[in-house]
Structure 1
Amino acid sequence: MAAAAAGLVAAVAVALGGMLMAPGLTQPHGEGLPEEIEPEPRSREGIAAERRPPGRMDQALLLVLNELPEQGLRLATLSGSCHQCLYQFLAFVPPSNGSLRAPGTVLVVVDTQHPLTLQLNGSGGDTELCKLQYHFGEFGNYSLVVKTLSTSTKTVSCDLVINERPINSYLPILFAFLVYMGLFAVLIVSHLSMKINPVRNWVYKTLNPRETDRLINSELGSPNAADSASSDPSRPVWSAAPRQRLRSLDTFRGLSLVIMVFVNYGGGKYWFFKHESWNGLTVADLVFPWFVFIMGTSISLSLSSMLRWGRSKQKVLGKIVWRSFLLILLGIIVVNPNYCLGPLSWDNLRIPGVLQRLGFTYLVVAALELLFTKPGAESGTLETPCPALQDILPYWPQWICILTLEVIWLCLTFLLPVPGCPRGYLGPGGIGDFGNYPNCTGGAAGYIDRLLLGEKHIYQHPSASVIYQTTMPYDPEGILGTINSIFMAFLGLQAGKILLFYRDQHKQILCRFVIWSIVMGMISAILTKCSKEEGFVPINKNLWSISYVTTTSCFAFILLSLMYYLVDVKRLWSGAPFFYPGMNSILVYIGHEVFENYFPFKWKMQDTQSHAEHLTQNLTATTLWVIISYLLYRRRIFWKI
Structure 2
Amino acid sequence: MNKRSIVASRYVPKRALWNKYILSYSLDGNVSDKNQTSFLAVKKALFDAFHDWEMNSCFDFIDVTPSQKSDIKILFTNDKINHKDCNRKFRGTAAHAFYRYHKKFPAHIHINNEIFWMESKKPSGSISLKTVLLHEIGHVLGLYHSDDQKSVMLVLEKQLMLFGYLSILVILFKCENVGEFKVDDSEWKCTDMDTAKLEFKVSDKFKSEIEIFYQYDICNKCDLIGLKRINPSINEESSVIIDSYYGYVFNVSSISNKISICQNLKYKNFGECGVYSLEINDINDCSIKRLQNPKRPNVWLLLGVLIIACFVLICNLIEKKEKKLREFLIRIVRSSRVKNLEDINVNELEEVIVPEQVKVKNRLHSLDTFRGISLFLMIFVNYGSGGYKFLQHVPWHGITLADFVFPWFLWIMGFSIPLSTNSLLKKYPTKRLKIFKKILIRTLKMFFIGIMLNSRFGVMLENLRIFGVLQRIAICYFVVATLELFLYKDIKIDDSKKGWKLFLSDVIWSKFHFIFVILIAITWILLSYLITVPGCPKGYMGPGGLDQGGVYYNCTGGIAGYFDKIIFGKSHLYQRPTVQKIYKTTEPFDPEGFFGIFNSVVLTYLGVHAGRITIFYKNQKTQIILWCLWGVLCFILYSALTQFDMTNGWIPVNKNLWTLTYSLITGCSSYLIFAFLFVIIDVKPYWSGNPFIYLGMNSILFYVCHSVFATTFPCQWIVSNKHLPKLLMNIWGAFFWTLMSIYFYKKKWFFNL
Which structure 1 segments of 5+ residues have no match? 1-46, 149-154, 217-221, 226-243
Contact 2:326–2:352 (8 Å) recurs in 1: no
Q: Say which of 416, 425, 429 aligns to 1:298.
A: 416
In structure 2, C-alpha distance between the alignment counterparts of 1:210 and 1:181, rounded to whole Å: 31
Q: Say which of 264, 276, 280 aligns to 1:142.
A: 276
Give the SS at the match of 1:62: strand
Note the alpha carbon deviations across 1:113-143, whole angstroms, 9 max, x for none. 1222222223255514252423211122222
Alpha-carbon distance change, 520 to 198 in structure 1, aligned in 2, over 3 angstroms? closer
Is 1:75 aligned with 2:190? no
Cα offset for 1:52? 1.2
Note the alpha carbon deviations across 1:475-534, whole angstroms, 9 max, x for none. 00011101111111111000011011112x011001100110111000000111111211
Is 1:487 aligned with 2:487? no
Is 1:110 aligned with 2:238? no
Aligned equivalent of 1:238: none
Matches within 5 A, 1:316-335: 316-332=435-451, 334-335=452-453
Contact 1:66–1:96 (8 Å) recurs in 2: no
Higher mean C-alpha deviation, range 58-67 or range 418-427:
58-67
Matches within 5 A, 1:304-315: 304-310=422-428, 312-315=431-434
Contact 1:53–1:141 (8 Å) recurs in 2: no
Give the SS at the match of 2:597: helix
Is 1:350 aligned with 2:465? yes
Aligned equivalent of 1:535: 649
Q: If each structure's helix is expressed as a fraction of its own residues, which one has the higher value?
A: 1
Alpha-carbon distance change, 48 to 406 in structure 1, aligned in 2, over 3 angstroms? closer
Note the alpha carbon deviations across 1:432-485, whole angstroms, 9 max, x for none. 122221110000000000000000001000000011111110000011101111
Q: Say which of 396, 400, 414 aligns to 1:278.
A: 396
Q: Could you tell me which amino acid in structure 1 is paired with residue 646 of structure 2?
A: K
Quick one: higher RCO (CA 8 Å, sep 6+), 1 or 2? Answer: 1
Matches within 5 A, 1:518-597: 518-597=632-711
In structure 1, C-alpha distance between the alignment counterparts of 2:210 and 2:329, rounded to whole Å: 78
Higher mean C-alpha deviation, range 169-178 or range 363-372:
169-178
Q: Could you tell me which amino acid in structure 2 is paired with residue 51 of structure 1?
A: E
Q: Say which of 262, 269, 287 aligns to 2:380.
A: 262
Matches within 5 A, 1:2-151: 50-67=186-203, 68-96=205-233, 102=235, 105-123=237-255, 127-129=260-262, 131-148=265-282
Q: Could you tell me which amino acid in structure 2 is paired with residue 178 of structure 1?
A: L
Cα offset for 1:187? 4.8
Is 1:391 aligned with 2:506? yes
Is 1:449 aligned with 2:570? no
Give the SS at the match of 2:296: coil
Aligned equivalent of 2:528: 413
Q: Could you tell me which amino acid in structure 2 is paired with residue 548 of structure 1?
A: Y
Is 1:599 aligned with 2:599? no
In structure 2, C-alpha distance between the alignment counterparts of 1:511 and 1:138, rounded to whole Å: 45
Give the SS at the match of 1:603: coil
Give the SS at the match of 1:89: strand
Q: Could you tell me which amino acid in structure 1 is paired with residue 742 of structure 2?
A: Y
Contact 1:430–1:441 (8 Å) recurs in 2: yes
Aligned equivalent of 2:367: 249
Q: Say which of 393, 396, 401 aligns to 2:516.
A: 401
Give the SS at the match of 1:335: helix
Cα offset for 1:621? 1.2
Aligned equivalent of 1:201: 328
Higher mean C-alpha deviation, range 83-92 or range 278-287:
83-92
In structure 2, C-alpha distance between the alignment counterparts of 1:125 and 1:309, rounded to whole Å: 81
In structure 2, C-alpha distance between the alignment counterparts of 1:344 and 1:299, rounded to whole Å: 35
In structure 2, C-alpha distance between the alignment counterparts of 1:147 and 1:70, rounded to whole Å: 12
Aligned equivalent of 2:745: 633
Aligned equivalent of 2:303: 175
Q: Could you tell me which amino acid in structure 2 is paired with residue 158 of structure 1?
A: C
Give the alignment's TM-score, normalised by structure 1. 0.81
Contact 2:315–2:691 (8 Å) recurs in 1: no
Aligned equivalent of 2:589: 474
Higher mean C-alpha deviation, range 379-388 or range 560-569:
379-388
Note the alpha carbon deviations across 1:608-630, whole angstroms, 9 max, x for none. x2112211221111111001111
Note the alpha carbon deviations across 1:345-382, whole angstroms, 9 max, x for none. 321110111111111110010000000010125x5589
Contact 1:116–1:135 (8 Å) recurs in 2: no
Give the SS at the match of 1:322: helix
Q: Could you tell me which amino acid in structure 1 is paired with residue 678 of structure 2?
A: Y
Cα offset for 1:79? 1.6
Contact 2:329–2:352 (8 Å) recurs in 1: no
In structure 2, C-alpha distance between the alignment counterparts of 1:449 and 1:49, rounded to whole Å: 46
Cα offset for 1:636? 1.3
In structure 2, C-alpha distance between the alignment counterparts of 1:289 and 1:106, rounded to whole Å: 47
Contact 2:456–2:708 (8 Å) recurs in 1: no
In structure 2, C-alpha distance between the alignment counterparts of 1:211 and 1:439, rounded to whole Å: 67
In structure 2, C-alpha distance between the alignment counterparts of 1:127 and 1:502, rounded to whole Å: 69
In structure 2, C-alpha distance between the alignment counterparts of 1:293 and 1:132, rounded to whole Å: 41
Give the SS at the match of 1:515: helix
In structure 1, C-alpha distance between the alignment counterparts of 2:703 and 2:316, rounded to whole Å: 28
In structure 2, C-alpha distance between the alignment counterparts of 1:212 and 1:468, rounded to whole Å: 63
Q: Say which of 123, 134, 157 aligns to 2:285.
A: 157
Cα offset for 1:80? 2.7
Give the SS at the match of 2:506: coil
Q: Percent identity?
A: 33
In structure 2, C-alpha distance between the alignment counterparts of 1:203 and 1:463, rounded to whole Å: 57
In structure 2, C-alpha distance between the alignment counterparts of 1:478 and 1:48, rounded to whole Å: 44
In structure 1, C-alpha distance between the alignment counterparts of 2:213 and 2:297, rounded to whole Å: 26
Give the SS at the match of 2:246: coil
Which structure 2 segments of 5+ residues have no match? 1-182, 334-347
Cα offset for 1:339? 4.3
Cα offset for 1:265? 1.1
Give the SS at the match of 1:83: coil
Cα offset for 1:205? 7.2
In structure 2, C-alpha distance between the alignment counterparts of 1:467 and 1:223, rounded to whole Å: 51
In structure 1, C-alpha distance between the alignment counterparts of 2:722 and 2:536, rounded to whole Å: 41
Give the SS at the match of 1:386: helix
Cα offset for 1:388? 2.7
Give the SS at the match of 1:160: strand
In structure 1, C-alpha distance between the alignment counterparts of 2:490 and 2:326, rounded to whole Å: 51
